[in-house]
């Protein structure tokens, strides 16, 4: 088997898996920090209950994010050594800065937060979780600065076949960073909000700890609505950046084979299996032009035109990414986004209109809606990374040239299977614990302690 | 000082931070099953929780030193990062698996009452501490001894080339020294029977640590070019490290646990410094042709990148040290057998 394929599968699996945990960390850390701040300000025990309940789930999720993150840091060197040599001068710097500025901050202060309930003053304890939240989100900035170089290389020059950094500022001011970073962070906030909404809805459905979960629901509803609205607006800006910097990705995401002016936005397009021809398509006229240029006219280039353009520019090759995956990933992400916007609006309505008593099925919808941000996060990255194919660094290095030349297919297969098996087992353990603590609620846990059992969660003595 | 040398030193400092901090928490993980023994299963569980809570607030922050060292190697010496990580592929894969199950185990273990659940994660902590403690020594020994690296900086050996006698002794050095170091940490951080057990373990293990380090020093004369290149300094530093171990044992027998711990830390530090002294100015030695070795020159990033990274590192490393140091101050108290005070 071709080592490049195994390396790609492994990267895909480990990255998607890692990114299952990251967005929740980004969002839930901020929500828990807000809850604890309210506790510090008001001294009301309800906010402490909230902080501890959601903090417990946060910690379980965080551990998974950390350990899967180590693999991310190391596998560039393991499987993609040619890539590492080529971009190390540029790509390594933000990675190292991320560790130095962000990883230390979040890990150290999370340790303080988990273990420090009765060792720190209330204010310092709340500050610790704010630093965790800050650290997590700063880490997103630096890793996306690194990723943006792969999407839209800037601030470099090629010397002796390697990309060498010439302008650190250009790396940071890369326009791709400033659409992708807000998008990722807002997606994280939205994930946190829907996680809290869903689990709160479950308890409100069963009428347990209603005060705590009503309050959680309200906070998450407002936080979620603001985040998701900004997310959609920012998504529009990101699409325009994509049309400008990687037109082929947009063409694939829209399954637009022939250039159009004005271009229609695809509602559904079926292609043949070669992924080169449209069989059936329904498009809203002019809307793709609008997405690209904010007006209802303007040419959006199609796959075939771009293929010949890129072949002229970079030499004969296949420059078409996997169209079906890119197309459906884009649809799933955007569809989930709009659905979440609608649900967030409904959540705010429920939270503020006291006279409105939701039917049980409405609560259940929120419980199931926890899946939506995960779906959107995953498909968003699939589209971003697969849609860049055949490039690993756009315009500079192709995926097949990036792989480690002397790591055999056998070694790669061993690690692929090893990570796969361990990750599957850990996912089972993680979901088991999250479900257990999410379902247990607050009073159930407190009863446990009064029975004289060993408390098994954070902050029981604070 | 030129920036290539500065970064060689900074990376040594990052690994030093890692070995000094995670060294004892690996030791604690390795000792977990041995120091928690009791007839009463509930007491065993309580003992284990006490042991885990000594490193609970710290292990994650300690591990970041490794991640940062990896990231800094990528940034400052991309070829070192690329050759080492692709070349030592399966060893690193095992290291990663171990660190994954270990990290999760700390967080998950005490969150369920089921004894089988807990035993499973206790195993994960034990294996997840033992394997890295050994592999780190194997890796560093191989870096100095030399591995088959071709003219294009690619590793052309196999996994089994890494398991040569010198590297295996190197693995024993870190494994046993960390275990001793962890036992001293536990005797400082616990009370009652666990403290007694930890003290007993420390008095038993220290001689093995000395033996391993002496053996490693001796084997180094045969397997490496340290003496030819670094001269007597390449012998003096590890010798002082061994003497530090002897002092550690001396202080320990005089009930000066704090000093014993400091001396063990010195020994760990000197072991690591020896490695970097033996390497310099190379970062990865080729056993095929010395001209093919990776050095601080041919493996490095551009001066511009090194300058940017230097500014960032010189500002933030001291800040990190300050707040991490503070956490050790916050959690300076010994952990007692009081379930209501245990978090893990």
The interface predicted TM-score (ipTM) is 0.94
Confidence (pLDDT) at B301: 95
Query: B163 to chain A, minimum CA–CA distance in Å?
Result: 16
| CB-based contact A119 B75, cutoff 8 Å | no
Mean pLDDT across the stretch B87-103?
A: 97
Nearest by CB: B71 against A99, A433, A455: A99
The C-alpha of A32 sits at a distance from chain B's nearest C-alpha, in angstroms, of 18
Q: What residue in B sits closest to A160 (Cα-Cα)?
A: B302
Smallest CA-to-CA distance from B30 within B147, B117, B134 is with: B134
Q: Is a pLDDT exceeding 80 seen at residue B1?
A: no
Chain B residues with CB inside 8 Å of A76's CB? Answer: 74, 81, 85
Question: Could you say which of B60, B70, B104 has the minimum Cβ distance to residue A426?
Answer: B104
CB-nearest partner of A115 from B70, B76, B331: B331
* Residue of chain A with shortest Cα separation from B66: A70
CB atoms within 10 A of CB B289: 12
Mean confidence (pLDDT) of chain B: 95
Q: Find chain A residues with C-beta within 8 A of B67's C-beta.
A: 69-70, 73, 99, 103
Burial classification of residue B144, based on how many CB atoms lie within 10 Å of its CB (0-12 exposed, 13-18 middle, 19 or more buried): buried
Contacts of A146 in chain B (CB under 8 A): none
**What are the CA-CA distances from residue A213 to residues A197, A365, B235 (Å)?**
9, 16, 65
Contact state of A67 with B106 under an 8 Å Cβ cutoff? no
> How many angstroms away from the CA of A218 is the closest CA of chain B?
28
- Choose the closest CB to A89 out of B78, B154, B339: B78
Flag if A111 and B60 touch (Cβ within 8 Å).
Answer: yes
Q: Do A456 and B106 touch (CB under 8 A)?
A: no
Residue ranges of A 154-193 with Cβ closer than 8 A to chain B: 159, 164-166, 168
Q: Is A90 on the interface with B (CB under 8 A)?
A: yes
Which chain A residues are Cβ-neighbours of B68 within 8 angstroms?
96, 99-100, 103-104
Q: Tell me the average pLDDT across B224-244.
A: 93
Across the range B129-135, mean pLDDT stands at 98
Tell me the β-bridge partners of A393.
A397
Element (H, E) at B113: none
Average pLDDT over residues B270-282: 95
User: Which of chain B's residues have a Cβ under 8 Å away from the Cβ of A460?
Assistant: 340
Chain A positions touching B73 (Cβ under 8 A) are 92
Which positions in chain B touch A63 (Cβ < 8 Å)? 103-104, 106-108
Nearest-CB residue to B99 (from A67, A414, A430): A67
Site from A85, A124, A158 to mutate, B interface, most B CB atoms within 10 angstroms: A85
Q: What does the alpha-carbon distance between residue B302 and residue B296 come to, in Å, rounded to a whole number?
A: 11
Q: How many CB pairs under 8 A join A and B?
A: 242
Query: B320: which chain A residues are within 8 Å (Cβ-Cβ)?
Result: 100, 104, 108
* DSSP notation for B54-76: HHTTTHHHHHHHHHHHHHHHHHH
Q: How far apart are the first and last CA of chain B?
A: 46
Shortest Cα distance from A212 to chain B (angstroms)? 22
Instruction: List the structure tokens of B307.
Output: 């300058």
CA distance B135 to B280: 22
d(C-alpha A141, C-alpha A62), whole Å:
18
CA angle A426, B81, A134 (to 5 degrees): 55
Residues of chain A with pLDDT under 50: 448-462
Question: Distance from A90 to chain B by nearest Cα, in Å?
Answer: 7
CA B319, B320, B324, B330 dihedral sign is positive
Chain A 370-409, residues with CB within 8 Å of chain B CB atoms? 404-407
Q: Looking at the partner chain, which of B89, B159, B323 has a beta carbon nearest the beta carbon of A78?
A: B89
- The residue in chain B having the minimum alpha-carbon distance to the alpha carbon of residue A456 is B111
Query: A424, A285 in Cβ contact below 8 A?
Result: no
Residue A280's beta-bridge partner residues? A270
**Inter-chain residue contact B79 with A88, CB threshold 8 Å:** yes
pTM of the complete model: 0.94
When CB atoms are compared, the residue of A159, A419, A433 closest to B111 is A433
B308: chain A residues, CB-CB within 8 Å: 93, 165, 168
Please give the Cα distance from B97 to B280 (Å, whole number). 30
B288 three-state secondary structure: coil
User: For residue A445, what pLDDT is reported?
Assistant: 57
Long-range contact set of residues A283-290: C-beta below 8 Å, sequence gap at least 24: A286/A262, A288/A254, A288/A256, A288/A260, A288/A262, A288/A263, A288/A264, A289/A261, A289/A262, A289/A263, A290/A265
Query: What residue in A sits closest to B328 (Cα-Cα)?
Result: A112
SS3 A391: strand
Asked if the Cβ–Cβ distance from A456 to B113 is below 8 Å, we say yes
Window A:109-128, CB contacts with B under 8 Å? 109-112, 114-116, 119-120
* A residues 193-232 closer than 8 Å to B (CB): none
Helix, strand or coil, per DSSP, at residue B30 = helix
Probe site for chain A from B41, B48, B49, B64 (most A CB atoms < 10 A): B64
The Cα–Cα gap between A243 and A301 comes to: 9
Residue B224's contacts (CB-CB under 8 Å, 6 or more residues apart) are: B144, B145, B146, B166, B278
Q: Which residue of B has its CA nearest to A82?
A: B82
Mean pLDDT of B251-274: 96
Chain A interface, mutation test: which of B89, B123, B310, most A Cβ atoms within 10 Å?
A: B89
DSSP state string for B121-166: HHHHHHHHHHHHHHHHHHHHHHHHH-B-B-TTS-B-S-GGGG--HH
Interface touch A119/B330, C-beta < 8 Å = yes
Query: In degrees rounded to 5, what are phi and psi of residue A270?
Result: -110, 130
A74 contacts in chain B (CB < 8 Å)? 70, 85, 92, 96
Could you give the dihedral angle defined by the CA atoms of residues A48, A49, A54 and A55, in that order, rounded to the nearest 10 degrees?
A: 50
Looking from the CA of A372 toward its CB, the CA atoms found within 13 Å total 27
Please tell me the predicted confidence (pLDDT) of residue A447.
53
Contacts of A73 in chain B (CB under 8 A): 67, 70-71
CA distance linking residue A395 with residue A403, whole number of Å: 17
> What one-character-per-residue DSSP string does A347-365 give?
HHHHHH-TT----HHHHHH
Cβ neighbours of A363 (radius 10 Å): 20
Distances (CA, A) of A34 to A122, A126, A227, A249, B76: 13, 9, 15, 38, 39
């Amino acid at each position: 088997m071709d080592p490049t394929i195994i390396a790609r599968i492994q990267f895909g699996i480990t990255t998607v898996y890692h990114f299952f945990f990251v967005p929740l960390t980004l969002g839930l850390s901020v929500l828990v920090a807000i809850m604890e701040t309210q506790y510090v300000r008001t001294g009301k025990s309800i906010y402490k209950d909230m902080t501890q309940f959601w903090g417990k789930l946060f910690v379980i999720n965080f551990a998974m994010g950390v350990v899967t993150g180590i693999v991310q840091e190391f596998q560039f060197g393991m499987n993609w050594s040619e890539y590492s040599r080529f971009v190390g001068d540029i790509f390594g710097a933000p990675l190292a800065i991320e560790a130095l500025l962000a990883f230390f901050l979040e890990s150290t202060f999370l340790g303080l937060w988990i273990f420090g309930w009765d060792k720190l003053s209330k204010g310092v304890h709340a500050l610790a979780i704010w630093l965790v939240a800050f650290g997590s989100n700063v880490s997103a900035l630096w890793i996306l600065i690194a990723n943006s170089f792969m999407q839209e290389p800037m601030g470099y020059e090629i010397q002796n076949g390697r990309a060498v950094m010439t302008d650190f500022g250009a790396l940071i001011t890369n326009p791709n960073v400033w659409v992708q970073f807000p998008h990722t962070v807002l997606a994280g906030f939205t994930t946190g909000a829907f996680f809290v909404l869903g689990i709160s809805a479950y308890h409100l459905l069963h009428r347990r700890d209603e005060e705590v979960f009503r309050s959680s629901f309200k906070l998450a509803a407002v936080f979620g609505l603001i985040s998701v609205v900004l997310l959609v607006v920012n998504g529009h800006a990101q699409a325009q950046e994509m049309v400008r910097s990687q037109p082929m990705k947009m063409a694939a995401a829209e399954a637009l084979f022939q250039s159009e002016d004005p271009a229609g936005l695809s509602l559904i397009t079926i292609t043949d299996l070669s992924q080169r021809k449209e069989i059936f398509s329904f498009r809203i006229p002019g809307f793709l032009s609008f997405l690209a240029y904010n007006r209802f006219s303007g040419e959006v280039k199609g796959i075939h035109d771009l293929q010949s353009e890129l072949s002229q520019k970079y030499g004969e090759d296949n420059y078409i990414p996997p169209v079906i995956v890119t197309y459906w990933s884009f649809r799933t992400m955007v569809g989930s986004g709009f659905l979440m916007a609608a649900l967030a609006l409904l959540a705010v309505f429920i939270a503020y209109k006291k006279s409105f008593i939701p039917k049980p099925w409405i609560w259940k919808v929120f419980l199931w809606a926890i899946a939506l941000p995960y779906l959107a996060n995953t498909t968003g990255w699939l589209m971003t990374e697969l849609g860049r194919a055949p490039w690993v660094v756009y315009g500079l290095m192709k995926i097949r040239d990036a792989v480690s030349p002397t790591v055999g297919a056998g070694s790669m297969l061993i690690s692929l299977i090893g990570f796969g098996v361990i990750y599957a087992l850990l996912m089972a353990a993680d979901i088991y614990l999250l479900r257990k603590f999410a379902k247990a609620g607050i009073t159930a846990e407190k009863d446990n302690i009064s029975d004289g059992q060993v408390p098994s969660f954070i902050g029981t003595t604070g | 000082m030129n920036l290539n040398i500065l970064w060689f030193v900074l990376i040594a400092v990052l690994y030093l931070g890692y070995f000094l901090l995670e060294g004892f928490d690996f030791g604690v993980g390795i000792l977990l099953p041995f120091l928690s023994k009791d007839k009463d299963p509930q007491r065993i569980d309580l003992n284990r929780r006490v042991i885990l809570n000594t490193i609970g607030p710290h292990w994650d922050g300690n591990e970041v030193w490794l991640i940062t060292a990896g990231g800094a190697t990528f940034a400052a010496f991309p070829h070192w990062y690329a050759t080492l990580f692709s070349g030592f592929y399966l060893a690193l894969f095992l290291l990663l698996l171990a660190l994954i199950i270990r990290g999760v185990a700390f967080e998950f273990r005490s969150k369920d009452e089921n004894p089988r659940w807990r035993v499973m994660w206790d195993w994960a902590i034990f294996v997840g501490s033992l394997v890295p403690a050994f592999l780190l020594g194997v890796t560093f020994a191989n870096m100095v001894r030399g591995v088959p690296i071709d003219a294009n900086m690619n590793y052309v050996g196999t996994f089994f080339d890494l398991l040569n006698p010198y590297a295996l002794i190197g693995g024993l050095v870190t494994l046993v020294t960390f275990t001793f170091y962890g036992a001293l940490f536990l005797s400082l951080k616990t009370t009652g029977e666990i403290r007694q057990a930890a003290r007993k373990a420390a008095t038993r293990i220290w001689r093995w640590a000395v033996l391993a380090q002496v053996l490693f020093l001796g084997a180094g004369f045969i397997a490496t070019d340290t003496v030819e290149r670094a001269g007597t300094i390449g012998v003096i530093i590890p010798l002082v490290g061994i003497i530090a171990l002897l002092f550690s044992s001396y202080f320990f027998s005089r009930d000066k646990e704090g000093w014993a711990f400091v001396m063990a830390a010195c020994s760990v530090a000197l072991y690591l410094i020896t490695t970097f002294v033996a390497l310099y100015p190379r970062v990865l030695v080729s056993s095929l042709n010395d001209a093919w070795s990776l050095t601080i020159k041919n493996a490095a990033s551009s001066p511009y990148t090194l300058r940017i990274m230097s500014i960032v590192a010189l500002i933030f490393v001291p800040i990190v040290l300050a707040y991490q140091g503070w956490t050790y101050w916050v959690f300076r108290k010994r952990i007692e057998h009081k379930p209501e005070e245990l978090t893990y």
